[in-house]
Amino acid sequence: MRTHLARLVAVLAAVAALLAAPGTAAAEVSAPRQAAADWNPPANLVQPLNEVWNHVESTYPNLYGFRNYGWDQLVANRGSVNYCVRWESDAPVSAALRDRVHTGLKKQFGKWMAAMVDNGTGHNAWPYSTVPVNIVGWAVKNRSTLQWTDNSVDIYAGNLDGGGAPQCAPDCGRFFHQDGNYSKCPGGAARHYDQSLWLTKGFQGGAGGDWGQRVGQEYFTGALNQENIHIYLHEVGHTFGLDDFYDWTPTGQCCFLMKAGSAAQITEFDKWMLRDFWRHLKSRYGL
C-alpha cells in the first residue's frame, strides 16, 4: 500500500551529495540523546512505542542521515508546506473542483499536524501550532483538462516524467533540489513545491514517501466529503517516516492507521508514533 521507507533510503543513495551538507559533523547523523522529561506517552503505549522505534532503528541504517522527511520540509519552510497536484487523468477539473481539492488537502494534512499539538501548544518543542498547506501548481497532460482561466496556481501542461505522467517543473521541486536552491524555478522559492499530490485515474491503493502521496483520482475526489480520506492519510504517515506493519504488530495494538486495513483514521497509537519520530529527530533542528 505504499512506497516503503527502504525506497526512500535507496533514493537517498542516489542524491547523497544533495542531502549531506559540507562539513556536517558525525554527531549530527547519529542517534540523538533525548530528555526523558519531554516524553510522556500513556503508560499502556510505552512498550509498543519502544518496540516500534527499536524496529525502525534496526531496519533503516540511514534513519538519522536522511534529510527529506516531512519534518525537514516543514522546518525549511518555517512551518508550511507547498504542494503540486499531478492530475494523471483526462477527467475535467473545474475551478470549483480545484478549490475543493485544496480544501480537502488542507483538512486531511491538518489531521496529522493536529496530532503534534496539545491545547494549542506544540508537543515536545514542536514549533508550529498550525501548518498552512498551499497548492502552488497543477500538472496535466493537456491544458484543456483544467477548466479555469485565472492564475491562482501555476499550470504545467505536457511536462511528463519518464513514465509519461504529468509533473510540475522539476526545477521547482524539493525532491530534486534538497539544497533549497530554486534559482531555476520560474516563480522562485515562493512557488516551489515540497510534495506532490499525485492523483492517477484507476490507481488502486496508495504510495507515499518524501516526494508526496499517490492515490486514485476517483478515490480522492470521491472522498472529499468524508471525514477521513484514510489511504491518503496513511501515505502522509510515510512522508513523515512512519513505517508499515505488514508482518508484525506491536504489543497490545490491533488496529491503527499505519497498519493498513485495520483503521480508517489516525488513532492514539498513530499519534504517539508520530510524536516519537519527532522526539528522535528534533535535535537536528536545535530543539
Whole-number Å distance between alpha carbons of 200 and 234: 17
Grid cell digits, residue 26: 558525525
- What's the pLDDT at 1? 54
pLDDT tens digit sequence for 51-63 = 999 999 999 999 9
DSSP class per residue in 190-209: GG-BSEEEEEETT--SEEEE
- What's the pLDDT at 193? 98
pLDDT tens digit sequence for 182-235 = 999 999 999 999 999 999 999 999 999 999 999 999 999 999 999 999 999 999
DSSP class per residue in 41-78: --HHHHHHHHHHHHHHHHH-TTTTT---SHHHHHHHTT
pLDDT tens digit sequence for 19-40 = 333 333 333 333 444 444 579 9
Average pLDDT of the segment spanning 258-267: 97
Residue 6: which pLDDT band, with cuts at 50, 70 and 90? Answer: very low
Whole-number Å distance between alpha carbons of 139 and 89: 10
Q: Pick from 272, 261, 198, 251: which is nearest to 231 by CA?
A: 261
Residue 183 dihedral angles phi and psi, to the nearest 5°: -65, -25
CB 126 within 8 A of CB 278: yes
pLDDT tens digit sequence for 141-191 = 999 999 999 999 999 999 999 999 999 999 999 999 999 999 999 999 999
What letter would DSSP give residue 189?
G
The whole-chain average pLDDT of the chain stands at: 90
Lowest-pLDDT range of 13-17, 49-53, 68-72, 123-127: 13-17
